[in-house]
Amino acid sequence: MDLLQIEAYSFYRSVYPPVESDMYILLEGNEAIVVDSNISEEVGQLLSDNYINSVHLFLTHEHYDHSHGVGWLKEHFNTTLYCHESSKGLLSTKKNCDPRLVAFVLSTKDMNDGGHRYELFKSEMTDYELKPDVYFSDGQILEIARHKIRIIHVPGHTPASSLLVMDEKIVFTGDSMIEGNKIITSFRGGNKDDMLYIAIPRLKQLPDDLMVLPGHGEPFRKEQFDFNIYNV
């Protein structure tokens, strides 16, 4: 886990090793805003050491590598789960990202570089089904722990993929904006037309000076993203 100083914010980041997906934690008094989730003893210790009694957990989308820590957080902390309304009925291993496809991708990477991502993923993989406490919708603004979070729905990668714009300064993009990468639509629930005609136009409309905290990789300013990779 590392500490990111971005604008006036101090975010803790926990990375899920097999696919290097990011979980972000912002502490505010005895509350915490968490974006996406994995299972991390370090995160548990952080929340306990800071006497956190209320966790507000937002998911950028449904996929396993961004949601598999939800049950763990709910078991150990008073956690409210927020998801886009399009995720209804999709937050389970049987309904969203097929673990077999993830396993194939990881094993292919392992063969290329001698890594052990697949073994780690397989050892930690568990079936799950999640029930959100709060469904949000496009354009909605939620006031959480002294911060305003504006929702922008960007289907394409998954039906419920969403941008979370915090205080009009930072945007959590999940897998809908990762520097140097196109949105992947080949997983279950992906839709290329939604990506081209809904997600990309909405991503382009974001202010250039927003700091992007992606679902994988390092933060960057929105103005650095090259939309020419889509040839649109």
Alpha carbon 58 to chain centroid, angstroms: 8
| CA distance linking residue 218 with residue 147, whole number of Å | 23
Return per-residue pLDDT of the chain as tens, 232 residues.
999 999 899 999 999 877 789 999 999 999 999 999 988 899 999 999 999 999 999 999 988 788 888 888 999 999 999 999 987 765 555 555 555 556 656 666 667 777 666 666 665 566 555 778 999 999 999 999 999 999 999 999 999 999 999 999 999 999 999 999 999 898 878 899 999 999 999 999 999 999 999 999 999 999 999 999 886 5
Those residues with Cβ within 8 angstroms of residue 7's Cβ, 6 or more apart along the chain or in another chain: 169, 170, 211
Tell me which H or E stretch contains 44.
helix 41-49
- Give φ, ψ of 103 to 5 degrees: -60, -40
**CATH (domain of 106):** 3.60.15.10
Crossing angle for the helix pair 117-124 and 99-113, nearest 10 degrees?
150
Amino acid in position 99: P
| Residue 28: half-sphere exposure toward Cβ, Cα within 13 Å | 15
Identify the domain containing residue 83 by its residue range.
2-230
| CA distance linking residue 48 with residue 44, whole number of Å | 6
Those residues with Cβ within 8 angstroms of residue 42's Cβ, 6 or more apart along the chain or in another chain: 1, 14
Q: What is the model's pTM?
A: 0.87
Tell me which H or E stretch contains 75.
helix 70-76
How many domains are there within the chain? 1
